[in-house]
Amino acid sequence: METPVKAPLLALLTGTTVSLAGTAMTALSIPWFVLHTTGSPAQTGLVAAAGVAGLTVSSALSGPIVDRIQPRLVSIGSDLVAAVLVGLIPTLALAGALPLWALVLVVALQGLTRAPGATAEDALLPSAARVAGVPIARASSWQEGAARTGRFLGGALVGVLIALLGPAQVLYVDSASYLVSVLMTAVFVRVHLERDEPKPWSVAGHLTELREGLSYLRGDGLLAAVVSMVMITNMLDGAYTSVLLPTFGDRVLHSSVLLGVLVGTSTAAALAGVIAYGAIGGRLPKWGTYAVAFLLAGAPRLVVMAAAPPLAVLVTTIAVTSFAFGAINPILLSQLFARVPETMRGRVFGVVSAGALAGMPVGALLGGAVVELFGLTSALLLSAALYLTVTMCPFVFRVWRRLDEPVPV
């Protein structure tokens, strides 16, 4: 039976939602597990840094692979390996055979699987959208909405599941989510990309293709500015997600359930922001929207958290700042899809992902060290000051005005 034309796009979005729900659980359950096992924010940062380091390395290497192999096969293979590795963590923990070095190793290996799958999904989206007859700007907004929905479901459930099952056992749920994503991609996502004739693989050739992606990126001043800014903000977000937020839940909220409330509120508000931008974003100036949204999304939540206000104030602040964040990625994704030729997307997207992620291991390590040495409040305020400095850049440098240039839809 012929696959309906919209099935590949719907399956791609569904698989993104399911797998990211599990990934959101992992993002909190592993730090919570390390904190409660070792009591050390520094060791928590080390484990998180290992995972993001693996993700960063694979981002640099995955682009030429996706350009050489059909992205559908890359996505399936990455999710299968990830399912095995994530399921291995609770299995070893239950057997009493998971020392810190082993956890660092498994998390790093699991990080290596994430970028090929994510790059493949990004490369598949324009073709799936074209088959479905959906403009790429709308499809990219839907993809961001699917990702936010997955993170919301994972964030809303993880606190309760940690309380009921324990932080290690929650990872079995994550492992199952990767298998669901494999099934959706294997059965329904049957699209192929236009590509140049592949060359025989070699280390030199692989590095050449990476240089081609980097050269294309450097030739577009706006895309280079995007990667530079996001690399720094992701470094700060790496510290926030991996160390500051779990430590805040442990030392200030004293509850994995309340921590889940914060994460669920953040992802729900960000999803609302994505939906709102999808509805009216076409009528808004992209530069002004991006600049104001990033300014609101960064520093304010960190300052409020440092003050340890009542829960209602905290939840409201997280909701407002996360709603603002919902407009950022759809703007950036639509720029990438419009500015990068289809035959170059694997190479360029891989370099973009690696650049955006390069600061996150550093952020996780530094975040853990700063909390260990100076305390949580000092770490939150320092992060807020750095975030404010970076998010002023779109107001200062004119290259960001190019966001308002007309792009194909």
Q: How far apart are CA 147 and CA 274, in angstroms?
A: 10
Residue 91 lies in a domain: yes
pLDDT on residue 389: 94
Residue 190 lies in a domain: no
Q: How confident is the model at residue 62 (pLDDT cuts 50, 70, 90)?
A: low
CATH number of 351's domain: 1.20.1250.20
pTM of the predicted model as reported, rounded to 2 decimal places: 0.76
Q: Which domain holds residue 303?
A: 7-185+210-404
Length of the chain: 409
Residue 203 lies in a domain: no
Residue 329 lies in a domain: yes
Most confident of 169-183, 209-223, 334-348: 169-183
Q: With contact defined as beta carbons under 8 Å apart, do 357 and 59 qualify?
A: yes
Domain count, the chain: 1
Q: How confident is the model at residue 390 (pLDDT cuts 50, 70, 90)?
A: very high
Across 31-40, 154-163, 197-206, least confident range: 197-206
Q: With contact defined as beta carbons under 8 Å apart, do 304 and 313 qualify?
A: yes
Q: How confident is the model at residue 2 (pLDDT cuts 50, 70, 90)?
A: very low
pLDDT on residue 280: 81
Q: Tell me which residue has tokens 């090929």.
A: 116
Residue 44 lies in a domain: yes
Pick the closest to residue 340 from 182, 229, 224 (CA basis): 224
Q: With contact defined as beta carbons under 8 Å apart, do 111 and 51 qualify?
A: yes
pLDDT on residue 370: 94
Residue 194 lies in a domain: no
Residue 105 lies in a domain: yes
Across 144-153, 357-366, 384-393, least confident range: 144-153
The CB-side HSE value for 283 (13 A sphere, CA atoms) comes to: 3
pLDDT in tens, 71-100: 777 888 888 998 899 889 889 988 888 888
Q: How far apart are CA 260 and CA 281, in angstroms?
A: 30
Residue 219 lies in a domain: yes
Q: Return mean pLDDT, the chain.
A: 82
Q: How confident is the model at residue 68 (pLDDT cuts 50, 70, 90)?
A: low
